[in-house]
Each structure stands twice: as C-alpha cells, then as structure tokens.
Amino acid sequence: MLLQHVYLSLLPLVIAVVLAIVLGLLGHRYRQVNSTLVTLANAIYTVPSLALFAIIPAVIGTQVLDPLNVVIALTIYTTALLVRPVVDALDAVPTHVTAAATAMGFRPWRLFLTVELPLSVPVLAAGVRVGAVSNISLVSVGALIGTGGLGVLFTDGFRQRYLAPIVIGIVLTLVLALVVDLLLVGLRRLLTPWTRAGRA
C-alpha cells in the first residue's frame, strides 16, 4: 500500500512539474496568456477531488478502479497548483541577468534552460513541495473509489470500526510527506549550489 501510495502521488508530481514549466513559460513570455492560465488553473483547483476521480473514467473510457484515473486527476490538480508559482519563479529572475545573457548571444531556449530555469529553482521548489504534500494527502481520497494506497487503511478501519489501521495510515502518510519534503529540500540545495556559496 505504501509503495502504491508513493507511485500514485509522485508520478503525477513529476508529470505536472514538466507541464507547469511549459505553461508557466508561456505565461511568463505572454502576459495575455498568463491571466487566462491563472484563471483556468484556479477554476480547476476548485473542483472537488472525488468528483474528478469519478468523472475521468467517463471521459477517457478507463475502468472505475483503474489507478490511471488517480494519476490523471492528480496531474491536473498539481499542474493547476504549480502554474502560478512557475510564472512567479520566472518573473523573479533578475532582468539584468537575462539581459546580459541575451547580449552574450544566448538564444531563447538556451537562455531559458541555462539561465532562467536554474535561477528560478528556489522559488519553484517551494511550489513543488506544496504540490507533493497535497498529492500525498489527496491519494487517500482515491481509496473511496477503490484505487488503493494508504487510504485503504482508512476505509477498512472505518468499515470495521477498528482504530489501528486508521492510526497506521495517518502515521505512514505523515512520515511519507515528511520524507518527500526533506528529499525535495535536498534536491533544491543540490540544484542551487550558488546559494550555499553565498551563505558561506
């Protein structure tokens, strides 16, 4: 159950980060697109998760108990959650740095991949951490439609009126969220060595 919970929560996070970076880049470069993306993302995030889990099988034709439904739903949620932080992260990159890179002959894609994206990691990492914890908690809701993960401990415990599985599920979910958060902090430090050098 723990391994399934990790799979169902982290796979959507990875996919959503890639999608959010692409959409955030569009929002950063084109302000008209930015307002539309943010409005759409806010609207999507207000849809109840259980309703989205139930709607997706009817839309894409999967079985109700297919874990793919949870992966798609959480990818949509996390992408909606991360679009704005990505735009904010790219906006936070100092303009004189991008201007200097442009003057040195950096093409737009090289500028983005080697200058803007690395410098936006500290701000972006905060949004990814929120998305990771949110996913770990939302996967438990998927147990209500029978998709597995640690949420099964909650549903079994309530059905049997037995407290032990519920407590174990809560503890494992909290520990998993803490471990993933610490790993993301470590990854952020690894990707931004200049921040450590600045503190030194």
CATH of the domain at 33: 1.10.3720.10
Instruction: Classify the phi-psi angles of 132: left when phi > 0, otherwise alpha if psi is within -120 to 50, otherwise beta.
Output: alpha
Tokens of 129: 């951490």
144 or 151: which carries more pLDDT confidence?
Answer: 151
pLDDT, greater one: 140 or 184:
184
Classify residue 162: in a domain, yes or no.
Answer: yes
- In this prediction, residue 20 carries a pLDDT of 93
**Total tally of structural domains belonging to the chain:** 1
Residue 86's CB is within 10 A of a number of other CB atoms, namely 28
Say whether pLDDT at 148 is over 80. no
Instruction: Name the E strands within 31-116.
Output: none
DSSP secondary structure letters along 24-45 = HHHHHH-HHHHHHHHHHHHHHH
User: What digits encode the pLDDT tens for the residues 57-96?
Assistant: 888 887 877 888 888 989 999 999 999 889 988 888 888 8
Q: What does the pLDDT read at residue 143?
A: 78
Give the model confidence (pLDDT) of 2-39 as tens digits: 899 999 999 999 999 999 999 999 988 888 888 888 88
Arithmetic mean of pLDDT, 153-182:
91
Question: Could you tell me if residue 141 is inside a domain?
Answer: yes
In this prediction, residue 49 carries a pLDDT of 77
The answer as to whether 200 is a domain residue is no
pLDDT at position 28 is: 87
Per-residue confidence at 183, pLDDT binned at 50, 70, 90? very high
Task: Indicate the range of 16-25, 43-52, 105-114, 148-157 predicted with least confidence.
Answer: 43-52
The answer as to whether 32 is a domain residue is yes
Mean pLDDT of the chain: 87
pLDDT attached to residue 200: 53
Q: Is the pLDDT of residue 155 over 90?
A: no
139 and 5 Cβ atoms separated by less than 8 Å: yes
> How does residue 199 score in pLDDT terms, banded at 50, 70 and 90?
low
**Among residues of the chain, what percentage have pLDDT more than 70?**
97
Domain that holds residue 111: 2-195
Model confidence at 149, pLDDT cuts 50, 70, 90, reads: confident
